[in-house]
Every structure is written in C-alpha cells, then in structure tokens.
Amino acid sequence: MTTSTQTDAPLPTHTDATGSFMATPAPVSASLTSSPLNSDAREVVDPITNWDGFSFDTRQVHVGEYADENCGARIPPLTLSAGYVFDSFDDGAARFNGGSREPIYSRQGNPTNAVAEQRLASLEGGTACVAVSSGQAAISAALFALAEAGEHIVSTASIYGGTRILLGRSFRRMGIEVDYVWDTDSDEAWDAVIRPETKAIFTETIPNPRNDVVDIARIAAVARRHGIPLVVDNTVATPYLIRPFEHGADIVVHSTTKFLSGHGAGVSGAIVDGGTFDWAASSRRYPLLTDSLRPGLPSLLDRFGPAAFAQYVREAVVNDVGPSLSPFNGFLLHQGIETLSLRMERHVDNSRAIAHWLEEQPEVEVVDYAGLPSSPLHDIAQQYYNGRTGSVFAVTVKGGTEGARAFTNGLRVFSRMTGIGDTRSMVLHPLTTTHASFAPDLNARLGITAGMLRLSVGIEALDDLLLDLRGGLDRVAGIL
C-alpha cells in the first residue's frame, strides 16, 4: 500500500524531537531554473503561471491566481457580478455550446470561485473542481449526478450524522435508496448490498465524530470490481493529510467550510473530479455523461474527457438546482487554503497530544482517536496517515449524560457549538444534537453514547487547551 505523505516531497526519513514526521524538502522546480544565466539585468522574466511540479505548500498559495488588469492588485479580486458580457453574437453561442470556457452566469461559475476550484483540484490531484454553497450541497450534487429515482447508493456506516440524515430523508424522497455496510473489510458484506442499480459507493476518509478511519484502497477495490465510482468525503483529513485519488477514489467532496477555509467565517463546499473512472466502459449506465445531450453536440465525455464528471455536475446539477457559491465565500475559501498546511500541522500536533493526555485521565472512559497505539484502527492510521488522523475525534467521560453536561459546561476555551475545522477549539454532545433524531439502537451501533463528546481541536496553545480540558474533567470528578 502506498503511504500518503503530507507534501509532494519524498517520504519522510526522519522525525523531529516530538516524533512527528518531517518531510525532506522537494527539489526546486525546473520552472525556477529556466532563465538564462547571463540575461540582461533589465529584462523582466515572465511570471509563473503553471504551478505543476511545485510543492504542496507553494501550490496552496499560488494555483489559480491571475493578474489584475485594472490596477495590478496582487490578490485575485472579488468578482461581484451575476453575469458576464459576451464579446459578440458568436462568443455567446460558443460559451453555451462549450466552445469557450469563459463565464456565462455566476450560478454556473465565477472568476473568484474559480481560483479556489483550481487550487483545490491541484492539491487533491484531480482534473477539475466545482465549488458549491456548502458541504451538503457538494455531497448532494455529486450523488444526484450519479443516481436518479429508482437507483441506489451504498455507503460505509460510520459517516457524519448530517450526511446520514441527508441520505435517509432527502435522497429517499427523490426515490434514491441507500444501504450501509458495517464491516468494510468484508467482501461478502459489500456484495450483499450492491445491486445492478447501485450507482455509487460513498465513504469518509476520517469519519466524523469517532475518527474510525477506513481502508480507502480496499473500498476502492470493491468499487472497481463492481464498476461503480467511489465518492470520498475528505473534509476532516483535507488533501494535506491524504489524497484519496492516490488510493483509488474517483470523486472527492469537501465541506470547505471546515479546514480548507479554516476560520469558520463562510459556508462552502466542493466536488473534485479525479478523472479516473471509465464512464464509457462501466456496465452501469451514466447516459448524461456518455450520450449526446442534444443533436449535433458531442457528449460531455467526448468534449471534456477526464474532467467530464465535473462539467456534468456544473451543467446538469449546479446550474439546474442552483446551489451556487457566493463569490464572497469563494474569496474566503481561497484565502483560507493559502495557510492550510500550516494550520493542519498545529491542529494535528495539538490533537495527538490531547488524545494521549485524555487517555490517561481517570475521568475518561475511552478516547476514539485512530492514531493512538491503543486504537484497534492504529494499523490503518499508520498506513495512511503516519498516525496523524486529523483533529476531530471523540472522548467519552464517566457519568453518562450528566458527566458530559458537567464536562461541557466546565469548558472556557473550547466553544460549545456545532461545526468542526475552525481555528478555534469546539466541543459538541452528538447524542443530543447531530444524532438526536436517530433511533437508540442505531446510535448504540454507531458508538454514540451518553458520555461521548466530539472535540474539534483548534490551533490555540496546547497548554491552554489542556488546562481548559482539565477544568472540564474536574467538573466530571465532582459528580462521580
């Protein structure tokens, strides 16, 4: 199995003083060494426009940027316009028939959002990206593009509670059925629920809230065997920790509200096309991709090749249903991505230290963090993440609901709120919030118990977070 690394550098070969993996610097790109050594000092070299081959840290800052032709602003401007002027009669026709990629209307795409789209596609290693209004919109758009009434989706059982609600309520109302696989290592379990009308498999790299990571390559092998695209939610991990396309995924979705934006200021989502699925060869029909949509016009697959699925999502779902991203939130997104690697390092460093510390506290029953040596999922965590399984995980305190209440109410730095992936640390009680509508037996099977809290660890100073958590646990001790 290929291990995912945090940058495009070679695999880490040494560790720092804390045991954290450190990547060897990547070689300098050829783009930086192509200028003649004896050129005229007055000659201005052309700026770099193709960032392929540069490191992750450099691409997260630069991919997608473009020169401002009005005043030379360094930051790509915020484009607040619903529509765009056509150069001519023929230009308008070309934009509508796919002959031109210039914008038509901001429901379909916006120059500000395009910066974030190109940047995220590069970081994930995809062919194209479509930004939408939220993470739920991203999941909906990706899956609605694949399945229609009378068809079927299969998902791993441990996924975000809001996604379970989406699949069980809205998708069911649309006539799309969903089945769940609990034992993801069992081929028999997958084969038992996959049907001829199954059109997608869905999973999360780091499931929210229990950090119960899955073997992505194994699930991808199941999908390949059945000729079904694998859709992976990479919200919690981000492409800094893992790039699902490298392990067999076909489509990646994000709630970019979370770690990619990073500051909790704007809601957004994204769908990234891996360009890897063979739509034409699949035994399951995807006619809106492979067939002509109108006489005389080639199919999306013929016109857009490995980026056909992304274009289909943009044209046939986002354009029709309308979950377009506000360009202001698109601006916040591409600004946030610029510091992704820096923030993720602090998020994960804090989380690993806190998970180890919590495991030793007498008021704690269990810590669900796959990177811990005590976790039954530790081998998978090491294989895919070098033990650094993000910063969203669960801790179960003693005392059941009353213990959870005492712990939550005793915190002063952690914010009591829904949401994850903020610079700020947050705490939530899933049983009475995100999972409150689920039947007791389902919550029990999912491991959502009365004393379990979800932590989203931010980038504050570790000592301050530990002191705050100790205060919450002292409140737990007081009721035991």
The pLDDT profile of the chain, 480 residues, written as one tens digit per residue, is: 434 444 443 333 323 322 332 333 344 454 565 555 566 889 999 989 999 999 999 999 999 998 888 888 889 989 999 999 999 999 999 998 878 889 999 999 999 999 999 999 999 999 999 999 999 999 999 999 999 999 999 999 999 999 999 999 999 999 999 999 999 999 999 999 999 999 999 999 999 999 999 999 999 999 999 999 999 999 999 999 999 999 999 999 999 999 999 999 999 999 999 999 999 999 999 999 999 988 888 999 999 999 999 999 999 999 999 999 999 999 999 999 999 999 999 999 999 999 999 999 999 999 999 999 999 999 999 999 999 999 999 999 999 999 999 999 999 999 999 999 999 999 999 999 999 999 999 999 999 999 999 999 999 999 999 999 999 999 999 999
Amino acid in position 310: A
Query: What residues have CB less than 8 Å from 340, skipping those under 6 apart?
Result: 60, 123, 238, 240, 259, 260, 262
The CA distance from 65 to 378, in Å, is: 39
Give the bridge partners for 424, in sequence order. none
The CA distance from 326 to 79, in Å, is: 10
Would you call the peptide bond into 36 cis, given omega within 30 degrees of 0 as the criterion? no
Would you say the pTM of this structure is higher than 0.95?
no
Give 6: exposed, middle or buried? Use CB within 10 Å, 0-12, 13-18, 19+.
Answer: buried
Give 47: exposed, middle or buried? Use CB within 10 Å, 0-12, 13-18, 19+.
Answer: exposed
**pLDDT computed for residue 36 by the predictor:** 56
Per the CB < 8 A criterion, the answer to whether 163 and 283 are in contact is: no
CA-to-CA separations, 470 to 72, 210, 351, 363, 374, in angstroms, rounded: 51, 21, 15, 10, 22
Per the CB < 8 A criterion, the answer to whether 455 and 392 are in contact is: yes
Task: Say how many C-beta atoms besides its own lie within 10 A of residue 193's C-beta.
Answer: 15
The CA distance from 163 to 213, in Å, is: 17
Give 104: exposed, middle or buried? Use CB within 10 Å, 0-12, 13-18, 19+.
Answer: middle
Task: Find, among 140, 196, 201, the residue nearest to 173 by Cα.
Answer: 140
Give 378: exposed, middle or buried? Use CB within 10 Å, 0-12, 13-18, 19+.
Answer: middle
Per the CB < 8 A criterion, the answer to whether 288 and 316 are in contact is: yes
The CA distance from 381 to 387, in Å, is: 5
| SS3 per-residue string spanning the chain | CCCCCCCCCCCCCEECCCCCEECCCCCCCHHHCCCCCCCCCCCCCCCCCCCCCCCHHHHHHHCCCCCCCCCCCCCCCCCCCCECCCCCHHHHHHHHHCCCCCCCECCCCCHHHHHHHHHHHHHHCCCEEEEECCHHHHHHHHHHHHCCCCCEEEEECCCCHHHHHHHHCHHHHCCCEEEEECCCCCHHHHHHHCCCCEEEEEEECCCCCCCCCCCHHHHHHHHHHHCCCEEEECCCCHHHHCCHHHHCCCEEEECCCCCCCCCCCCCCEEEEECCCCCCCCCCCCCHHHHCCCCCCCCCHHHHHHHHHHHHHHHHHHHHHHCCCCCHHHHHHHHHHHCCHHHHHHHHHHHHHHHHHHHHCCCCEEEEECCCCCCCCCHHHHHHHHCCCCCCEEEEEECCHHHHHHHHHHCCCCCEECCCCCCCCCEEECHHHCCCCCCCHHHHHHHCCCCCEEEEECCCCCHHHHHHHHHHHHHHHHHHC
CA-to-CA separations, 147 to 117, 302, 310, in angstroms, rounded: 24, 21, 15
What residue has token string 């032709």?
A: 69
Per the CB < 8 A criterion, the answer to whether 149 and 272 are in contact is: no
Give 70: exposed, middle or buried? Use CB within 10 Å, 0-12, 13-18, 19+.
Answer: exposed
Please compute, for residue 101, the number of CA atoms within 13 A of its CA located in the half-sphere on the CB side: 8
Query: What residues have CB less than 8 Å from 143, skipping those under 6 apart?
Result: 153, 171, 176, 200, 202, 231
